[in-house]
Amino acid sequence: MTLRDFAIRYGFIALLVGLVVFFTVSTDGFASPQAAVFIFQSVAITGILALGVTATLVVGGFDLSIGSVATTAMMAAAYVMVIMEQNAFVAVVVCLAIGVVVGLINGYLIVYMRVPDLLATLGMMFLLVGLQRIPTEGRSIATGMTMPDGSTANGTFSGAFLALGRHRFDFILPNLIPVSVVVLVVLAVLIWFFLEYTRFGRMMYAVGSNPKAAELAGAPVKAYKIWAYVISGVFASISGILLAARLGRGDIASGNNLLLDSVAAALIGFAVLGAAKPNAFGTAVGALFVGILLQGLTMMNAPYYTQDFVKGAVLVVALVFTFALSNKGRT
């Protein structure tokens, strides 16, 4: 293996380890379980979104609507519990249904209406950003809010639902690991196993690389593409549920950065282990990389407004790794 191959394959992991060592040495408390959990927690929501968008990248598509699916799910959860006065279970089911329906519509537009993926999901993004504000006439949803007709909403966020955002499991230390981190890890392992080891995942990669060849090998290409958008939609709605549970309200202003952060994580993932293609492990590492960098910089008192700059710089470096250094990107 030449130095170049080595750099392409392990460069990003080495950089990640280097960062961890650097922050451990130069700050107090970076290498503690609490800090590690905090990093995971900070990337949980964007990480889940990124894993979903990875599924669409694998089939050669793209999903720009994930951020708005997440916020729509959040608003829907709040609406169901606060205004319709339903329980946590109903709220979760409604959110997941939203993810499935949006994924199906996206897939239908792209596969059957032949709208290019970026445009179809961009349209869906706009549509959802508007739609989530219509039921409450543009207001955020919180317990005891005043309704447009002057009455007061009587419902509350149920305790079980809030636990999704606030409960912590004991792990080594008591009350250490939040639910969102567990959900992230479980979903990451699931989608990783699905894409790498099952025939469905293999076929999805084939569909993304050469749809005609995949079809001639017996794959229902259209169905695979639609399923990828459904996966993306469901993952997005799960992160919307976690977001609502963490905030405890349906905040129309939250979730602005979700789309860009998660897409960045998925694209950074291309560079991990020299994959040069979308992959679940890379996406998870990409999300963690951004989380570690931001946490470390914050602990070193870097100002908050440098965050987007740092993310952008990491993304550009990762893309150079993927496309300039590796031969696979050159087709």
The span from the CA of 294 to the CA of 306, in Å, is: 9
* Cβ at position 31, least distance to another protein in Å: 37
Cβ of residue 108: shortest distance to another protein, in angstroms?
19
Minimum CB separation of residue 274 from another protein in Å reads 13
Query: Quick one: 197 or 309, whose CB is closer to another protein?
Result: 197
- Minimum Å gap between C-beta 2 and another protein is 11
As measured in angstroms, the least distance from the Cβ of 193 to another protein is 8
Q: How far is the CB of 198 from another protein (least distance, A)?
A: 5
Per-residue contact string for residues 209-228; x = within reach of another protein by CB under 8 A: xx-xxxxxxxxx--------
Does residue 114 touch another protein according to CB under 8 A?
no
Under a CB-based contact definition with an 8 Å cutoff, are residues 63 and 121 in contact? yes
Q: Which is nearer to another protein, 126 or 197 (CB)?
A: 197
By the rule CB under 8 A, 330 interacts with another protein = no
Measure CA of the first residue to CA of the last residue in the chain; give whole Å: 22
Q: Which region, judged by CB under 8 A, interacts with another protein, from 161-169, 191-199, 250-258, 309-317?
A: 191-199
By CB under 8 A, tell whether 281 contacts another protein.
no
151 exposure class (CB count in 10 Å sphere: 0-12, 13-18, 19+): exposed
Task: Indicate left, alpha or beta for 157 from its phi (over 0: left) and psi (-120 to 50: alpha).
Answer: beta
Residues 286-305 touching another protein, rule: CB under 8 A, are none
> What is the Cα gyration radius of the chain?
20
Q: Which residue is it, tokens 């459904």? A: 230
SS3 state of residue 169:
strand
CB of 276 to another protein, least distance (A): 9
User: Phi and psi dihedrals of 65, rounded to 5?
Assistant: -90, -5
Stretch touching another protein by CB under 8 A, among 23-31, 38-46, 200-208, 309-317? 200-208
CA-CA-CA-CA torsion sign (37, 183, 96, 160): negative
Residue 256 to residues 22, 46, 127, 292, 295: CA-CA distances in angstroms? Answer: 31, 11, 15, 21, 20
Distance CA 249, CA 168 (A): 20
Q: Tokens 């084939």 appear where?
A: 206
Q: Which two tokens stand for residue 10?
A: 């392990």
CB of 330 to another protein, least distance (A): 11
Q: In this structure, are residues 91 and 240 in contact, taking their beta carbons and an 8 Å threshold?
A: no
Which region, judged by CB under 8 A, interacts with another protein, from 35-43, 100-108, 208-216, 312-320?
A: 208-216
The one among 205, 235, 281, 321 contacting another protein by CB under 8 A: 205
Q: Which of 175, 198, 256, 306 binds another protein (CB under 8 A)?
A: 198
Q: Which residue lies nearer to another protein by CB, 215 or 251?
A: 215
Among 35, 81, 92, 203, binds another protein (CB under 8 A): 203
Contact 82, 157 (CB under 8 A): yes
Q: Which of 211, 237, 185, 224 is nearest to 75 (CA)?
A: 237
Binding site for another protein (CB under 8 A): 197-200, 202-203, 205-206, 208-210, 212-220, 277, 328, 331
